[in-house]
Amino acid sequence: MERPAIIHKLASEQRTPPHWTDFEAERRVDVWGLARRALQGLPGGGLNMGFEAVDRHAGGVLRDRIALRFVARNTPALDLSYGQLAQQTNRFANVLQDLGVNKGDRLFVLAGRMPELYVAVLGALKNGTVVTPLFSAFGPEPIATRIRLGAGQVLVTTDALYRRKVKQIREQMSSLRHVLLVAEDGGITNEPGTLDWHTLMALAPDTFSTVATQPDDPALLHFTSGTTGTPKGALHVHGAVVTHFATGRYALDLHPDDRYWCTADPGWVTGTSYGIIAPLLQGVTSLIDREEFDAERWYTLLEQEQISVWYTAPTAIRMLMKAGTELARRHSYPALRFVASVGEPLNPEAVWWGQEALGLPIHDNWWQTETGGIMIANTPAFDIKPGSMGRPLPGIEAFIVEHLEAEGEPPRVRIIDTPNVEGELALRSGWPSMFRGYLNNEARYRQCFAGDLYLTGDLARVDADGYYWFVGRADDVIKSAGHLIGPFEVESVLMEHPAVAEAGVIGKPDAMVGEVVKAFVSLKDGYQPSEGLRMDISAHARKRLGAAVAPKEIAFLPSLPRTRSGKIMRRLLKARELGLPEGDTSTLEGGA
C-alpha cells in the first residue's frame, strides 16, 4: 500500500501537552543548564546519579509513588516506592562500605531483571562505586573478559548464575574481592567463597549519606564491541545524569504521572540509561517484566498495567508484527500516548504498524553506548518521516562527514554540507553524557575524534529538512536483536576449538532480528567437515559465549580470505555470502 512520507502531528491533538513543540525555538535554549538546575545536587555540593534518581524524590512529595513495579508469571507483582527504594539502596551502599568497597571501585552485576539488580546499581552509584551491568545471557567467556578488563572488585549475581557461569572461571578474575549471591528461591546461600546478599542487607542500616561525587567522577562502565580486539569499556560520569534528565523529557516525553515500560535488559546500555535512571529522574512508575518476550503477554501488560509511555526495539516490534495485528487489536490501550524504539533501523512499515495496531506511530530514535543518551529522535514535538531516526535533540549538533584520509591518525574529516549525501555520522562533543574514555585504551578513544567532532562509526545521511537516515555501520560489528556483538570475540572462542584453524564471523541479514551471527571456519589438518563436527563447534561456542552471542550458523571453508597483512576479510565473506559484488580485493592475499 502507498503510504504518505510524513505523519503530521499537531500538539493541540495530543492528550498530554508535550514538553516541547517548537523545534527551532528549543534548540536555542540552554537545555543542559536548565536540566542541571532541575536536578537537586548533593547537600554539600556535587552531583550523584543515584541520589538524583531516587533520593531527590524519596525526600519529597513522590516518596510513596511506586518507582519500580516488577511483574512475573505465577508470582504477585512487587512494588517498590521511591521511599522504599531509597532505603534499600542505602542498605546496599552500607553493605559496600562495610566490605571496604569505596568511591571509584568497580562493581559488576550479572542478573536477570530482578529487584536486587536495580538496588545494586543505584546503591553502588550512591556509594560512588562504578557499576557495570552484564547481560545475564552471556556465557562464561564474555563475563570473565569484561570483569578482567574492568578489574571488577565486586560481583553481584544469583546463586544459580554463579554455579552455571562464574564458579568455573572465578580464578581467572583475580581482581574480584567479593561475590555477593542472591538466592533465587529467596532463601540464604552458603556457596563457599561468596557472601549472602539477603543476610548482608538485613544487617545493614537503611540510612546513608550519598558519597560526594562530582559531575566528572566515573559512574558507569559499559562494555561495547568493536571490530577488532577485546570489548571496549566506555566510561560514563555522574554528570551524564543531566542528559538522562533532559532526554527523558525531550525524547520520551515523560511526565511524573506516567506509567512507563522500557523493554530493554539492563545488561545493555538502553536498559540502564532508560530502563533505570531516566524514568526515575522524572518520578514516573516503571514496569519491569521479568519474563522473556511473549506477544500476548506484552499486549496484556500494556493494557492492564496502563502503560502510557513505551520504549522498545525493532526486533520486538517485528516479532509483534509477526504475531499479527489481530492479536494487538484484541486489547485496547487507552492509557498509551507515546511509543518509541531504539537500537536498530526501524523500517517505515513498523512505524505504520504501530499506528494500525496500537493507534500510535512508533518514534524511532538513535544513540549508542558511547553517547550515553539519546541524541537523535522522532519526538512528540514534530512530524515523523517513517524510516528516519529523527532530528538531533536540543543541545545536540549532528553532522555528516567524510574522511580526508583512509586511516589518518588523528582522523581528519570534512563536513558534508549537501543534503542526502552518505557519510559518517558525527556529533559535536560536549554533551554531558559523552563517554570520557575507553578503559585502558586512550589511543582507541583518540581515534574517535576529529577535532571536536565525535565520530560515531555509523553511516547516515541527512535530508533537506534535517532528518537523519541510517545507512549502515562503517565497521564489521554485528547487531543481532538489538545487541552489539564483536566478531573478534566470537572468532577467538571458535579458534579455541581443537578442530578450528581459522574463523571469520559476519552479520547475516535476517528479517526478524536484523542480523544473525554467521561463522566461517576452516579446519586444521586431520579434520574433515561433517554435520557432527559442526554441531560440536556450535555447542562449544554456545557453552563459552552464551546463546545471545554464539553463531547461529557455521559454514566450513577450505581457507578464509585474508589481506596481505593477514587480517580475515570479513567484508568479502559477507559479500560472497550475500552474492554481492566483492568490491576492492586488491589487498587480498594471493590476489582476488
> Does 138 interact with ligand AMP (rule: CB under 6 A)?
no
> Closest CB to ligand AMP among 217 and 458?
458
Bridge partners for 154 per DSSP: 107, 178
Query: Residue 406: exposed, middle, or buried by beta-carbon count in 10 A (0-12, 13-18, 19+)?
Result: exposed
**Binding segment for ligand AMP among 93-101, 110-118, 245-253, 450-458 (CB under 6 A)?**
450-458
> Closest CB to ligand AMP among 470 and 556?
470
> Closest CB to ligand AMP among 94 and 368?
368
Q: Tell me how far, at minimum, the Cβ of 500 lies from ligand AMP, in Å.
A: 27
- Binder to ligand AMP among 53, 119, 484, 573 (CB under 6 A)? 484
Cα 533 to chain centroid, rounded:
34
Per the CB < 8 A criterion, the answer to whether 219 and 49 are in contact is: yes
227 grid coordinates:
571490530
Q: Torsion-angle region of residue 306: left (phi > 0), alpha (psi -120 to 50) or beta?
A: left
> Closest CB to ligand AMP among 196 and 458?
458
Q: Quickly tell me which residue has 542480523 as its cell.
A: 515
Q: Tell me how far, at minimum, the Cβ of 70 lies from ligand AMP, in Å.
A: 24
> Closest CB to ligand AMP among 260 and 470?
470
> Does 321 interact with ligand AMP (rule: CB under 6 A)?
no
Q: How many of the chain's residues bind ligand AMP (CB under 6 A)?
A: 19
> Does 470 interact with ligand AMP (rule: CB under 6 A)?
yes
Does residue 384 sit in helix, strand or coil? strand
Q: Tell me how far, at minimum, the Cβ of 7 lies from ligand AMP, in Å.
A: 16
Mark residues 380-399: x for contact with ligand AMP by CB under 6 A, - for none: ---------x----------
CA pair distance 542, 139, nearest whole angstrom: 7
Q: Quickly tell me which residue has 512529595 as its cell.
A: 61
> Closest CB to ligand AMP among 283 and 487?
487
CA pair distance 343, 375, nearest whole angstrom: 12
Q: Tell me how far, at minimum, the Cβ of 492 lies from ligand AMP, in Å.
A: 19
- Binder to ligand AMP among 55, 116, 458, 476 (CB under 6 A)? 458
Q: Tell me how far, at minimum, the Cβ of 479 lies from ligand AMP, in Å.
A: 6
**Binding segment for ligand AMP among 167-175, 299-307, 456-464, 519-527 (CB under 6 A)?**
456-464
CA pair distance 482, 477, nearest whole angstrom: 12
Query: Residue 326: exposed, middle, or buried by beta-carbon count in 10 A (0-12, 13-18, 19+)?
Result: exposed
**Binding segment for ligand AMP among 8-16, 47-55, 293-301, 337-345 (CB under 6 A)?**
337-345
> Closest CB to ligand AMP among 189 and 378?
378
- Binder to ligand AMP among 269, 316, 351, 519 (CB under 6 A)? 269
Q: Tell me how far, at minimum, the Cβ of 368 lies from ligand AMP, in Å.
A: 3
> Closest CB to ligand AMP among 87 and 224?
224
Closest C-alpha to 426, from 476, 379, 462: 462
Q: Tell me how far, at minimum, the Cβ of 110 lies from ligand AMP, in Å.
A: 18
**Binding segment for ligand AMP among 20-28, 145-153, 343-351, 505-513 (CB under 6 A)?**
343-351
Q: Tell me how far, at minimum, the Cβ of 556 lies from ligand AMP, in Å.
A: 30
Q: Tell me how far, at minimum, the Cβ of 364 lies from ligand AMP, in Å.
A: 5
Per the CB < 8 A criterion, the answer to whether 19 and 246 are in contact is: no
- Binder to ligand AMP among 163, 436, 473, 543 (CB under 6 A)? 473
Tell me the pairing of strands 178-182 and 362-366. unpaired
Per the CB < 8 A criterion, the answer to whether 288 and 294 are in contact is: no
Closest C-alpha to 287, from 106, 499, 440, 67: 67
Q: Tell me how far, at minimum, the Cβ of 439 lies from ligand AMP, in Å.
A: 15
CA pair distance 489, 503, nearest whole angstrom: 11
> Closest CB to ligand AMP among 473 and 567?
473
H-run or E-run covering 353: helix 348-357
> Does 479 interact with ligand AMP (rule: CB under 6 A)?
yes
Mark residues 344-383: x for contact with ligand AMP by CB under 6 A, - for none: xx------------------xxx-xx--------------
> Does 508 interact with ligand AMP (rule: CB under 6 A)?
no
- Binder to ligand AMP among 129, 157, 224, 480 (CB under 6 A)? 224
> Closest CB to ligand AMP among 94 and 341?
341
> Closest CB to ligand AMP among 95 and 550?
550
Q: Tell me how far, at minimum, the Cβ of 477 lies from ligand AMP, in Å.
A: 8
SS (H, E, C) 211-245: CCCCCCCEEEEEEECCCCCCCEEEEEEHHHHHHHH
Q: Tell me how far, at minimum, the Cβ of 472 lies from ligand AMP, in Å.
A: 8
Does residue 438 sit in helix, strand or coil? strand
Rg (CA), the chain: 24
330 grid coordinates:
484484541
540 grid coordinates:
562449544
> Does 343 interact with ligand AMP (rule: CB under 6 A)?
yes
Q: Tell me how far, at minimum, the Cβ of 321 lies from ligand AMP, in Å.
A: 17
Beta strands in 27-118 (DSSP E): 66-72, 75-81, 106-110
Beta strands in 395-540 (DSSP E): 398-403, 413-415, 423-428, 449-450, 453-462, 468-473, 478-480, 483-485, 500-510, 514-523
Q: Tell me how far, at minimum, the Cβ of 343 lies from ligand AMP, in Å.
A: 5
Per the CB < 8 A criterion, the answer to whether 245 and 38 are in contact is: yes
Per the CB < 8 A criterion, the answer to whether 221 and 132 are in contact is: yes
- Burial code (b: 16+ CB inside 10 Å, e: under 16) for 353-385 equals bbbebbebbbbbbbbbbbbbbbbbbbbbbbebb
Mark residues 573-592: x for contact with ligand AMP by CB under 6 A, - for none: --------------------
Q: Tell me how far, at minimum, the Cβ of 152 lies from ligand AMP, in Å.
A: 20
Contact residues toward ligand AMP (CB under 6 A) are 224, 269, 342-345, 364-366, 368-369, 389, 456-458, 470, 473, 479, 484
